[in-house]
Every structure is written in C-alpha cells, then in structure tokens.
Structure 1
Amino acid sequence: MTSPLQLVPAPGSDLLPARAQRLRELIRPETLEMLNWDETSQVLRPSPDHPFLGMNICARQGCWAAARKTELGLCSGCRSSWKRSGKTPEEYLATEPKQVSNTSGGCGVPKCQRPWTSSRTQMCMRHRELFVKLGRPPLAEFLAHPRVRPLPGHGLCSVDACHRHRANGSNLCCPPHWVRWKEAQPRGADFEQWCRTEPGSSETTAVSLRGLPALVTAEVLYGLQARTDAEIKSPPILLRALVQRLREQQVPQFDDVEITPNTHIAGMANGMRRMLAAAVSTPELEQIKDVWNMGVFGLGQWRKLDFTPLHQEWMRRACKTWVLDEIPRRYGKNIPNSLSEMILCVRFLSKSLVRSREDRGENMAALGRRDIEAFTQYVAQLKHTGEISTFRHTTVCRFTGRFLREIRDMGLTRPGEILAELPDDFALRRHDMPPVITQEGPGRALPREILTQLCERLPALDQVRDDTADMRHAIEVLIDTGRRPDEIGCLPWDCLETDEHGKSVLVYTDFKNNRTGCRLPIPDSTAQIIVEQKKAMRARFPDTELTELVLFPRPRQNSGGTQSYRISHIGNVHRRWVNAMPPLLLADGTEFPKLDVAPYSYRHSYAQRHADAGTLPDVLRELMGHRSLQTTQTYYRVTEKRTRAAVDKLVSHQFDRHGNRIWTEARQLLEHEHARVRIGQVSVPYGICVEPTNVKAGGHGCPFRFRCVGCDHFRTDPSYLPELRAYLDTLLRDRERLTAATELDDWARTESTPSEEEIKRIRTLIRRVETDLERLTDDEREQIKEATRTLRKTRTVSLGMPGIRAPEPNLRLERDA
C-alpha cells in the first residue's frame, strides 16, 4: 500500500540557489567543452559545424555571417557583392576574401589590455597611431621598438551582456554599444536600464549569458545539454533571441519568462521548461502539484497527468494516492493514458457532487447513498441527451465503482488515513452498474474487401512522409502479423529468426504484458519484407552497432538509428495515408467510414481472419499473445444468428457412438432445442457429451473415464471430422509403438494398447460421416463447411480429458506476396 501523501512546502525564492546548484551538478564537463563555454566572460561559442548547435557559415573566406540556403552558400551581403563583381562563383570565392572590421579581439601587442580597432591590423587605437608614425615598419621590428609598451585597459563595456572592453576612457561602452546608446538617447532611454536590457554584440555562433542570474544561466546551459542529448536543434539565432527575452524581462528563473505563443522561440522555451522540470523535480515534489510531469516518474518527459478536473481536495488526494499505487503495476508504452482514463471517469463523480450538494462535496463525512444515486442519474442523463455515448456511460460507472472500491482496499478509509471520514455506503453497488454492451457484427475488424483495397494502395505510403519505404514496410508487417502498433514500431534489427523446421519466426516484445522474446510464426512473404528492411537500415546506418539498431527508426532526432518509431508517428502517417485515398467501398457499393481504419484495427482483422479460417480458440489465443481466452474472444465476432444457422445446418448430420444418425430429417431447431444444445452438452476432443454430471462439471466429471466412443451420451458431427481423424492416427501410432516395445510386461502392454473395438468404432464413425457428406450436392457441402467454420470459432475443448493436438494454423493473407 502506498503511504498517504505528505504535503511539503512549495519551492520558494530561498530554494532558487539550491536549484542552480542542482543544475550545475547535472551539467557534464563535456557539455561545457562542446559549447566552448567561457566561465569568465559568460559566453558560449559552439562550433559552427555542430549538427545541433551550429549554423551554416558563409562560404566566403573571412566572413562569419549566416549563409543562406542556396547552392553557393553565401550570406546576403556576400551574395550581393558577388553579383556586382561579375565573376564566376569559383573566381569570387578564390580571389576576394572578406575583410571584417570589429572590436572582438585584443591588441596584438603583448600584455596590452585594450581592444583592437580592426581585424586587419589587430592593434588598439594608440598602438595603431604609433605604428603609422613609425612609418609602418615590419611587425617584428615594431614590437621590438622601445616606444611600444603594453597599455592598461579602460574596463569592460557598461552593457551587462557585453564582454568587450572600452576603446577609450571617455566612453562608457565599447564602440558598437556607444553608437547604439547615442541612437537611444534621443528616445529618452535610461542609461542604467538600457545597460541591463541591451543585447551583446553578435558574433556568429557566440551567445552571451552575461547579465543573467546564476540560476537562469545554469538553466540555459542544462537546457542546451538536454536538447542536444535529444538531438533537437538549437540554432544560435533562436538561442540569442531567447536569451534576450530573459534579459529584457529580468526574470529570476526560466519558468517566469513570457514568450509570444506559436513562434519558434516559444517552441524552444516550452521544450526547455519541460526538460528543466523533469531534471530538478522529484516524485515527492510532484505529488504536491495538481498537474504532474510524468517524466519525473520515468514515463515520458512530454506526458502530463492533470488532476484539476477533480474539484474536491479529498478526491484529488485519493486519486493521486491511487495513481502512485498503480504505477508499479502497469506495463507498456501508454501508462499515462491508462491512468488519466481513471481521472477522466472520476471527474463525473466530482461534477455530480458539485451539482447536487451545497458544500460541493468538500465535506466527505456528509456523503452517502443519496449522492451515489444522484451520480448514477447524472451520467444516465448525459447518455440520454447524447453528451456521452452508451459505451462511455458504462465505462464511467465501471471505473468509478472500481476507484471507490480500491481506495478502500488500499486502506485509505482506516482511522487516521486521509479518507477516514468517508462513509461506507458511498460506493457503487452491483445493481448500480449499467449492463455491459454486447456488440454484434464484425466489431473493429475490417471487412475483407476493405482490407484488400488498403493493401492495393500500400505503395502510396511512400509519398506520405519522408519519401522512404519504412512506413510502408511497417504497415505491411502490421497487417500480416496482427501485432500491436508499439510492438511493430519498436522491433529491433535482429527480430527475425528461423525455427527447427526452417520456418520464419518474428521475435518481439509484448510491452502491455511485460513479456520479452515472444515468438510468432510468419509466412515467407512477411519475412522477405523484414529482410529488405534490415538491409536498408544497415546501409543507412553502417556505423551503428547491430545490437542497438532498430528495424523502423524514427526519421528525426535519430542520427544513429537507435530510436524507434513513436506510436503517434505511426498513427499520424497512417491517418494521412487513409484520408488521401479515394472512397473505400464495401461489397454492396456503399462507402466504408475511413475513421474506422486505424492501425489497431489490423489486429482485430488478424483475429477475425483466423477465426473465419477455423483456427481453434486456444490456438488463436496463443497467436494473439493473450493470457485469457475471454480476451481473445473480444477480438472477433460470431453472432448468435450465425451460430443458430450453423447448428441448424449440422443438426441433421449428427451421429451417435454406433454411427447412426440421430436426426432422421433436416429441420430447424425450436427455441427450447437451441437452449438444450447450448446448456445440455459439453465439448470433448472429437465430439460432444450430453451426460448430465459431466456437463454440470464443465467436462471435468466424466463417470466413465472418458470412454466416449463406447458411451451412449456421445455425439459427433462433420465439424469434428478433423479431430476424429487425428484421434484415429493417434490410436494407430500408439498400437504400433506398444506392440514393438520390449520393456513392458504383457499385462501392462495389454492395458495400454488401444482396443480393436475402439479403433473399429472410430473408423466406422469417420466412414459414416464421410459417406453422409458425399451424398450431398456441392452447394450443400459448402454450406456444411461454412457451418463447421462458424461453430469451430467458439468451440473450446474441455481440459478434463486428454486432447488432440490442434492442426497448425493457416497463416494465409488477403494481400499478394
């Protein structure tokens, strides 16, 4: 059980230095080296060639301006200069280096502390004048002249963001800023305020963090480290603009900066906020908030969990405790989604209390059965008015009832706990729950003709995104295997193996159930798609270790090919592909809704396809990777109408243990006869049993030791013909094996050997069933086959009797290889 939440004081201003210290500890030395961070000048100068922090520099020698995205690679000024020169690009770049005049360097005279006035001479103003007076001697001779002595500096520029020195003692700023101040004076600017907010002089990739509080400086440096680790670009132009917003607003911490929404700077700022929140927070600090950053819990730095829809304080605290208790029990890629579903359902209870009580439900001790009745009436009203669907109505009641039950199971209502005053009758009872919806029809499985049209249009996926075949291959594997989208998107590069028979096997991870190394037999056509994808990925990322390479790498922020597809990426590209298609038409010519075509619907189609092919439910459960057969049965549909029709087809072809037909004429069963067929029999491996005690025990209580073919309660029909043949083969093999055995005594061999009477009886049954089918017309035989497939979808064999090994499933596909 999770202990009750202990509220801690919110971080105050006195905690800001500790926050800065924490961030400084998280910043790696190699990050500072990558940024070329100068602690003294508070300036970072990342290399222009850095893939995430750099920028394209003008191709002209001596020019450090940002290049335009053209083939020439020139900045705007050099491009204009080249056009005026009349030269070819090669001649221009080779013969006209740019001479840049700035004050970003120190004087070339040793130990002189004044800045140079020109990059060509690299001398301060006094030494430049002396150099001219001496007749411009060679540099070595000039530096050795007795009149050339180092001069003291005039101090740094008064602008907080500037790291340059003053050019002379009469000006308070460096030359560029002195010019800017002269321009700002007529506008009535205050000099001190102007110095605090004025940006530093631009130097290509250089970004000055001078003038920012120590905490903000640490936050910017850590944000750049986190963005670089995530392979997100942070161009100096955007970074310089963001730093300028921080400087202008004089914020004490990064979270306080205000940025115009829907801009590039806002995107960078929001991303850094999320990264900083995950870095400095802890699960204990997140618990006091009403909006949790799930990255702190290791569940995705972009994911949030919002408790604000719950209006009562006690309900928020209880829901937070429930979430903390539930997190360790959840698996998969979408844990925040499943947890937020509980919050979204409980909010209806919160709204009901606000509507129906004067105290808005804050006093938990005053709650009772009447409030539960008001809640059930409220959600029922929402369903009747169409504000929520019938399915949502059922889900809300079911989840809310579970929540109220589990917070008691966790002990939160015990004396001294946070819900000690919650009354016992404030709970949903069984009769408060709306009936579970039973859906008829194909469910979420796509009709065969729709799936055929989608497969025919798979080549169009190559033009939807990034102009590669990765997504097409992913969707093809998704259709062929019926796996969940995250299981396909996260496949490793070495996901294909062969079994002992030389057949291809897909090795994947079931994230939902936390199962690794799951194996699924796949056809050769699907294996060939995976082989092609493996070759393409190896050619694209030749330097990446194969153990780290993934089969479907995401197209961005993934330079090494080690980051797999996100589920949202698969869904977005798939939706764009489907929406761009012509209308999808059913067999009757009507249009099929495109919103029903989703990546997960291929999993339902896979299950329905195998169910239609007669795959036994137990085998299909293994193929789907389910633990419960009940879960598998929700993935495909066999309607009552189809089952009744199948029973009517096979009822006139039912035989007893002697091979005699039980029904002498074909007719439809009455209602009570259908009920008897359903509840008055139980499946055995090669037929059905109507012995009452065995039926009551679910097939586990046969009083005759499962001697089915010698029992008058045994029935069989053409739908059990494969099992009859398999059982006969088993009996014959066992007889031959026991006859040849020399290590058994005679009495043991006699008791273990199948009797000739049993073998004869099974042969007679098979012959009678086959003879009965041969007398039918082709249409009648086809109807019997269809009825057999329908009944076999819902048939399960009792485990109380030795079973017959099911035949290998037919993995045929709708699309051509």
Structure 2
Amino acid sequence: MTAALASVTALTACPRLPADLTAWTVWLRTAVDPGWRGSEWDAEHWLFTGDTDNPGTAVWRCSTAACDAVMKARGQRCQPCDLALRAGDAGPAEFAATYVPVRRAAFPGTAAGFCIVSRGESRCAFAEISRGLCESHYGLWRIYTRRHPDASISEWARAVARPRIAAHDGCLVGRCGEAIQTDFGLCCYHHRKWKTNQSATGDPAGWAGTQSPFLRANQFSLLQLGPTLRLEILYALQQRDARGGKIEPPAVLAAVRAFAGLPTLLGVDQVAAMAMLTGKGVNSETHVKTIIRGIRFGYDEYSGIKQTDKEVWDLAVAGVASDTTQSGRRRHPGTADFSAIKQRWFRDIVLAWARSTDPDSKLLGITLKACVRASQALGRRPGGGLDPATLRLVDVDAVVKAFQTARKDDGELYSVTQRRRMLGFFFEMLDFGHRAELMGQVPGGFARHGSHRILGVETNEDETGKAIPETVIRQLDAHLDLLGRGFPYGRLPEQDVAAMMRTVYVVLRDTGRRPSEVAGLGQACLEHVDDEFSLIWNNRKGRRNRRRLPITRQTAHAVQTWQQQRPGLRSPAQSREYLFPAATEDAGIAHMSAGVIARAIRAWADAIPVLHSEVSGLDGQPLPFDRTLIFPYAFRHSYAQRHADAGVPIDVLKELMDHRDASTTAGYFQVSLKRKRAAVKTMRLHVVDRVGRPTPMASDVAYEARSVAVPFGNCIEPSNVKAGGHACPIRFQCAGCGFYRPDPSFLTAVDDHVTSLKADRETAQAMDADEFVVRNLTDQITAFKDVAATMRTKLDLLPAEERAAIEEASTVLRKSRALRDRKLLPLTVTRHHKEPTG
C-alpha cells in the first residue's frame, strides 16, 4: 500500500472527526508548551535539532572522539571515518581515540563556505561547490583553463574573475544557514529542490517560506504539515517527553513524511497508521503508536472526558503509578480494561475502588484479573449474574469454585497462595461495595461463608492424569503443517511464525519443560559434550538456573534448525539473547510469553480436522478426543507418563523433571493398567482379616469390584462398597470390623494411623475425657498394631524374591490410590434411609 493510498484509507475510515476542527486547533495551540526544550525546539521555524548530550534525545555522535558527525545509533561511525579506518592500520579502539577527520568535500546542507573569488574588499557572496569556487565561477574557470592550461586557480580568482554580488545574505529558507548558490536567494540544496518542484512558480521567496532546512540525523521539521496536524504531533511528542519517553528525530521524521497528506490524525487508528509506515522500522512504529495515543487522549481532554471516566484506562494518561520504579513514572504503556467485567453492578464497584484508592499498576492489574475471573464464573450461572437482586449464596459458591480450580493460560494450576490472593481480592471488592453503599440491590445472602476458602494441603500443585495420550500426540505430529498457520505474531511473516511455533512444540513435547521455561530459552541453549546433547534451561519456579537436560539428536536438530533461521528475523532489540523473541518492542517481556504458546497450541488443536481418542464408541469406531485437554502444560505430564511407562525409576524421573520431592513427580503420571493388574494379581493372595487370618480374594476382579479402599485397608461391607467408601456404619474403626480386609500395601497407612490414634489419646487424656473414650482409643491402637505385626511376620517368612514382588506391588497400588483424589475419613457418617411411603 502506497503512502497516498494509505492516507486516503485512513481518512475514509475515520470513526469520528471533531465537529469544529478550528476549535480543536485552538485548544491544541493552548495545550502545547511554547517553552518546550528551548535548546532543541525552534518554535518559530517548527524545527527540532536534537542535542547529543541530552539523555532524552536518541541521537549520538560518531564513535570517533574528534568527529562531530551525528549518528542515528550509539557506537556507529560516520562513512568518512569508516573508510579511513579500513584504509589505515590502527585498530578500532586506537582509531576512535586518535583519528582527526578532515572534511575534503562539501555536500548539500553543510556549511561549505563561500567562493574564493575576491577583488580587494569585495568577495563573491555565493557558496563554493568545488575547488573553492561557486557554480558560476567554476564553469568560468573550466573555460579559462582551455586557453591557459598552466594558470593558477588562486591567481585567477584574485586577478581575473570578478566577485558576484548577492541580493540576500544567506538562503531564504529559515534556519538553513547555507550560503546562496543562485541569484534566486537559495542555497545549492534548496535551489535543486526548487527546480524539481513542479508547483514552485513565481517568486522563490514564497516557496522558501514553506520549506524546512536540509535535515541532519538529529533534526526533524513540522513546517510542511498542515496547521492542525503539526500541532497534534507536537502535542503528542510533548506528552511522550513528559512521561519519560525519548525523542528519536529519524523516527519522528519518518512519521511526519508518512502523515504529510493528512489534515488531522483524529480517527486514524493504529492499524491504518502502521500501514502508512510499512518498512520504516520498529522505532518509527513505536513513536507513531505514542503519537496516536497522545492525540486520542488529548481529544478526550478537549471533550471534557477524564481517563478514569472511561471503562478502558490508559495507565499512563490516568496517572496510575508504576510499581517497578521508585518515582512511579511509567516506562511502558499499559491499559486496564474494566469492560471485561460483564456485570454492570460489579464493574461499577471495581471502577469506584480504582478511582478512590489510587492503586499502583501491579495491584490494579492483579485485582482486575481476579474480578474478571469472578465475573466469568458468575456469567456461567443462570442469568449470568446480571441482575444483582437474584444473587444468592450458591453464586458465591460458584465463584469460589472457579478460584479453587484457577489455571494459567498454559494450563498450569495457580499456586495455593496465588489462588487465595485472587479470592481475597474478590471478597475485598464486595466489602468495598458495602462500605461505599454500592450493593443496595444485592441480597445479604451473596456474601462470604466460612466454607469459602482454598485449602493449603495438597499432594501436588497440578491436577494429575493430564497427560495427552501418545496416540493423540502422533496425530498432532501428522498435522505439524497447520501449526502457526495464520497465527499473528508482531510483524513476522507467516512462514517464520510457523517455523518458530513448530520448534516450540517439539521442545515442549520432547523435554517436558514448563511452557514459561521453553518460552525463555536462550539462543545458546544447546550443549554438545561427548557426542551427547543437553538442553540448558532455567527452572524459574524452583529458582534454579542453567539446568541441563539430556535430549535426543532429533530434538537438538529441531532447535539447531531454528537457531540458523533466528538471526534473520525482524525482532525487538531486547529479544536479542532469546531463542523465541517477543512479538513487539512494548510486549512487556524480552521473549515469547507462555500465554502466546497457549493460544497458538489452542488454535492449532482447533484447526486439525479430526482427532481420535483411545476410546471406541458403540459402533467400534474411535470417539473424538476432547481438544480442551490439549494445552502446553499437558505435554509435561505426557513426558512424565512416557518415561514412567518405559520403566524409568521414579528417582531418575524426579531428576529429569527437576523436582525436589519424588512425591511431586508421582503426581504427574498415572500407573499404567498393565502394572496395576500385575500388582493386584500379586496382592490379592496376601489379604487378611482384622485378626490376621488369611482371606485371599478369589480373583483380581473380586479384589477391585467387591471391595473398596478405606484409609487403612479394603472393606467388603456392602453399603460402604456401594457408597465408594464413604458410608462406614462404625466411623472407620476398621480394626474392630469383620468386613475389614487389609493387605501389605496398607502397612504404611496403618502405621500412620496408629501414630495419629496415639496423639488423639494424649489429647483425650489432657482433656480429662471419660475412661471409655481413652479405652476405645487404646483398643484401636492395640488392634491396628496387631494387624500390622501379623502381616509383617508373614512377610518375613516369605522367600526374598516373593517379598520383593510384594513390595513392588505395594508401591504400585499406593501410587494408584494416591492418584484417585478421594476424600477419606468424612467428618460425619452418611446413612441411607428409605423415605416413608404413603
């Protein structure tokens, strides 16, 4: 799209233009600071000349110490100095310190000096272009040397040539500062520009009044823009400067040239602006985003709209302090979108809280995120929580449940602390609403209850059994060509995005690292020692950096292929050290985010035409696989399951997963059906009753189907079996029950229960409880100890090989029970009674 076409498109797409553009222009004229950057901004000529010593201006001097040439980037050398360095023998450091440049030639826009032709006190008033002569005298000198080839140019200039008298002291263009070249009163640069300008007719003085001087790398001019547009850009730049943003003259100049055909930037959205800037560089795009934002918010102020009156806040304009700097000044733009809270009554409470408490950006962000999650939970309730008068306790229950199971974008469960904090923010909003008298329509039943809490006792922070089956992974591998297709990622071409996302997937699948750890891999993440490859990664969750994980050659080859493609990407400067770069300069982090990975995997899973599960339907054909189970963190479970099924010992798998505790590793995989069946087959022969008599189960099916696991063994009491172990008639006093069927796999649980009973007995004695209470506890302790002693005696009599098999089976069964996520020892006895009839 050409700049002209983009300008037309932007104007025709304007969603709003001020009814009175003149009034808007007048407001801008009063809003801009006339004394802004007095040493750099020339308000009369609309010219900015950046000072290389000003830290707020992004221009630098040539790296040669004695050179005054201005460069666009830090550490660059100008072309003459670079040529001199290549021609000499000095190294870069020595050259930069000692070289003194000599300007041998003039070029347009530089102060080249005057022609050397003179007679007494009279001197030629025009600029020299070659060998010290102006254009006219240089032509006369060339003619003279045809007849006098041995003539001296200095003698000719002094004795033969006559000086030219100019009607003007210098170029007519304001702030040009160059000697004139023609009788029209223009310097060489502007004379050539005037001759090529088809619309330049008549007196050149009028044309010169609309022109900017020759612009160097540290300059830009707003003179050629329309009266409204130049004020808009100046206002936006002053706002950027006030927030601590740097002014980069080349980037502003690119924006000025792109927008030169527009009367105003009001209504031009960011997409249209980016289209006009195609190929101008990331820094220009960043400046244009700031300009568009500044103008939009300036128009809000002109219209009498406060930023905090809106439902989407620009944090910088709203004055929300940054939590990352001591001064509170924001380094990066950000927004707070309150419209994501769908319930009007709840949104008003959160907005009122934000306006009255003045939180910093971190507190505002996490509070808003928690309230949006609560809003989504209410939205799933009948009526969507839109009518506050219909809210009840069950609606609060639904919100609490949402926080109890809250997961990150990549599928990882939030920590208990994070979930508690989010739930606390929700209830804090309700408390604020009551204090501010904003919940008059909300019934009193919509409030916190004692049961609304998130328990801290967990066997594992992540839900077990989330591994993607290997058969499904093979189907995903067959559709790798769809991954990343059509997925937007900054300004990267689709083929680069697809290649990057394929590499991300391979690393996720083959290494089992957390999505955030894959996203943060460095470019030098491979180590090759003794013909073996290792992945170097940072365990950010465990705060253990530069970990090493053995990987296959195929995985290493996938990473190496991307490493070769990575340098050619157009990526942000802050992503230079990372394997997977951030999408944009203002992404907030220096590398790809885990959320981006989650969205890409989600879009890919949805794009695959067919995904079969391992379960067959009534017609014998495989049922569709639930695509919601395909998320980045699930590949970590798949990695653990794959190694467990291959027989990798749990202590080795613990090291591969980089866990501190093997119990955490055990929660990442399920015991395979084959191993569980083998364990049941072994254990069913060693079942005993409450007094230690052998009562083996007749079959493997009977072991599982006719019994239920209770805390300290199996139970065959019919009503308890039917209730799944939650309906014990005698409150789990198993050692005194004829239906109790323990086996060696429960020995650890029995020992733990004995310890617990002893503690209960001491407590009862301290409470001066009745003798029958203490006696009951003592009898239970004795009975359970007898059960455990009997089983251990029988185990000791078995051959070592058979004893080892029982121990292995016990481990498998304990692991299988641990993964059931079953609540044991209910606080009340559940009894089933028939309802009276008639």
Aligned 1:99-110 pairs, distance under 5 A: 106=112, 109=115
- Take 1:325 and 1:426, find their aligned partners in 2: how far apart are those partners? 32
Deviations 1:418-440 (A, max 9, x none): 9899999485345999999xxxx
Instruction: Give the equivalent residue in structure 2 for 1:183.
Output: 199
Which has the larger displacement, 341-350 or 457-466?
Answer: 457-466
Matches within 5 A, 1:481-520: 481-492=511-522, 508-511=537-540, 513=541, 515-517=542-544
Q: Indicate the residue corresponding to 2:371 in structure 1.
A: 342
Counterpart amino acid of residue 371 in structure 2: M
Q: How far apart are residue 602 of structure 1 and its match? A: 0.8
CA separation of 1:785 and 1:208: change in aligned 2, threshold 3 A: closer
Tell me the residue number matched to 1:141.
155
- Structure 2 residue corresponding to 1:694, chosen from 753, 761, 773: 753
Show structure 1 runs of 5+ residues with no match.
1-9, 55-98, 329-334, 362-368, 384-391, 542-547, 718-757, 775-780, 799-817
Q: Report what 2:11 is aligned to.
A: none
> Which of 130, 134, 140 is the equivalent residue of 1:124?
134
Equivalent pair of 1:684/1:797 in contact (CA under 8 Å): no
Distance 1:645 1:797, change over 3 A: farther
| Conserved? CA contact 1:656–1:712, under 8 Å | no
List per-residue Cα deviations over 1:676-698 (Å, max 9, x = no partner): 75674799996247879938949
**Cα offset, 1:248, TM superposition:** 6.1
Shift, 1:530, TM fit: 9.9
Q: Decide whether the 8 Å contact of 2:523 with 2:563 is kept in 1.
A: no
Q: CA deviation at 1:461?
A: 8.9
Note if 1:370 corresponds to 2:389.
Answer: yes
Query: What do you get for the CA RMSD once the two structures are aligned?
Result: 7.7
Which of residues 132, 154, 167 is equivalent to 2:168?
A: 154
Distance in 2, Cα, partners of 1:322 & 1:506: 47
For 1:274-331, what per-residue CA distance to the aligned partner results, in whole angstroms no more than 9, with x for missing partners? 56899999xxx99898424589555994653323556665531425788947837xxx
Summarize deviations over 1:85-140 as a string: whole Å, max 9, x none.
xxxxxxxxxxxxxx9997877456259896658x6677435544664685575434
Matching residue within 334, 338, 360 for 1:307: 338
User: 1:460 offset after TM fit, Å?
Assistant: 11
For the structure 1 residues 105 and 424, does the alpha-carbon distance in structure 2 shift closer, same or farther, using more than 3 Å as the test? same
Amino acid at match of 1:687: F
**2:447 maps to what in 1?**
428
Cross-structure match for 1:265: 277
Partner of 1:727: none
1:537-686 alignment to 2 at 5 Å?
A: 552=579, 554=581, 564-567=591-594, 570=597, 584-587=611-614, 590=622, 592=625, 597-606=630-639, 608-609=641-642, 653-655=686-688, 660-666=693-699, 667=702, 668-669=705-706, 670=718, 672-673=720-721, 675=723, 677=725, 680=732
Aligned to 1:711: 785
Counterparts of 1:477 and 1:659, CA distance in 2: 53
Q: Using a 3 Å threshold, how does the CA distance of structure 1 residues 788 and 528 change in structure 2: closer, same or farther?
A: same
1:750 alignment partner in structure 2: none
Provide the residue aligned with 1:451 in structure 2: 473
CA distance in 1 between counterparts of 2:339 and 2:663 reads: 36
Cα distance in structure 2, aligned partners of 1:504 and 1:235: 47
Q: Which residue identity does 2:153 align to in structure 1?
A: L
Picking from 427, 431, 438, the partner of 1:405 is 427
Task: Indicate the SS of the match to 2:447.
Answer: coil
User: What one-letter code is carried by the residue in structure 2 that aligns with 1:33?
Assistant: W
Contact 1:607–1:635 under 8 Å retained in 2: yes
Q: Quick one: which amino acid aligns to residue 272 of structure 1?
A: H
SS in 1 for 2:155: helix
SS in 2 for 1:305: strand
Distance in 2 between residues matched to 1:219 and 1:608, nearest whole Å: 56
Q: Cα deviation per residue 1:476-529 (whole Å; 9 max; x = unaligned)? A: 44234422222123235787999xxxx999775454x5x411697845648994
Q: TM-score, normalised by structure 2?
A: 0.50
Q: What does residue range 268-287 of structure 1 map to in structure 2 within 5 Å?
A: 270-273=285-288
Give the conservation status (yes or no) of the 8 Å contact 1:659–1:768.
Answer: no
Code of the residue aligned with 1:124 in structure 2: it is C
CA distance in 2, matches of 1:109, 1:210: 32
The CA deviation at 1:445 is: 2.8
Instruction: For 1:32, give the aligned amino acid.
Output: V
SS at match of 1:291: strand
AA at the equivalent of 1:141? E
Q: Measure the CA separation in 2 of the matches of 1:240 and 1:321.
A: 41
Q: Distance in 2 between matches of 1:507 and 1:336?
A: 32
Q: Confirm or deny: 8 A CA contact 1:624 1:632 kept in the other structure.
A: yes
Separation in 2, partners of 1:456, 1:356: 43
Q: Is the 8 A contact 2:114 2:127 kept in 1?
A: yes
Partner of 2:353: 318
1:176–1:201 CA contact under 8 A, matched in 2 = no
Residue in structure 1 matching 2:255, options 232, 236, 242? 242
Distance in 2 of aligned mates of 1:494 and 1:373: 56
Q: 2:313 — aligned with what?
A: 291
In structure 1, the residue matched to 2:768 is none
| Contact persistence 1:413–1:422 (CA under 8 A) | no
Helix, strand or coil for the counterpart of 1:711?
helix
Gaps (5+ residues) in structure 2?
Answer: 1-26, 41-49, 80-104, 118-122, 298-305, 325-329, 403-410, 456-462, 486-493, 569-574, 707-717, 736-741, 762-776, 825-838
TM-score by length of 1: 0.51
Q: CA 1:665–1:129 in structure 2 vs 1: closer, same or farther (change >3 Å)?
A: closer
Q: Check conservation: 1:618, 1:629, Cα contact below 8 A.
A: yes
Cα 1:486–1:650, aligned 2, differ >3 Å: closer, same or farther? same
In the alignment, the residues of structure 1 paired with residue 70 and residue 269 of structure 2 have an alpha-carbon distance, to the nearest angstrom, of 21
Paired position in structure 2 for 1:790: 816
Which residue identity does 2:753 align to in structure 1? N
Counterpart CA distance in 2 for 1:537 and 1:29 is: 37
Q: Report the AA paired with residue 109 of structure 1.
A: C
Cα distance, 1:263 vs structure 2: 0.5
- Paired with 1:309 and 1:339, the residues of 2 have a C-alpha distance of 9
C-alpha distance 789-712 of structure 1, shift in aligned 2 (>3 A): same
Percent of residue pairs identical? 18
Structure 1 residue 572, shift from structure 2 partner = 7.5
Cα distance, 1:716–1:196 mapped onto 2, change above 3 Å: farther
DSSP 3-state at the match of 1:175: helix
Residue 449 of structure 1 deviates from its aligned partner by 1.1
Q: How far 1:183 sits from its partner (Å)?
A: 2.0
Question: Matches of 1:307 and 1:240 in 2, distance apart?
Answer: 36
Contact 1:167/1:175, CA 8 A, preserved across alignment:
yes
Q: In the TM superposition, what whole-angstrom CA distance separates every residue of 1:133-172 from its partner, at most 9, and x where no partner exists?
A: 8557543434444756696683565556977665445557
Contact 1:274 1:302 in 2 (8 A): no
Alpha-carbon distance in structure 1 between the residues aligned to 2:804 and 2:269: 86
Local SS of the residue matching 2:277: helix
Q: Judging changes above 3 Å, is the alpha-carbon distance between structure 1 residues 190 and 343 closer, same or farther for their aligned structure 2 residues?
A: farther
Query: Which of 509, 521, 529 is equivalent to 1:479?
Result: 509
Distance verdict in 2 for CA 1:250–1:104, change over 3 Å? farther
Determine the structure 1 residue equivalent to 2:303: none
- Which amino acid in the other structure matches residue 468 of structure 2? L
Letter in 1 for 2:520: C
Letter in 2 for 1:790: S
**Larger CA deviation: 581-590 vs 310-319:** 581-590
Distance 1:773 1:400, change over 3 A: closer
Partner SS state of residue 59, structure 2: helix
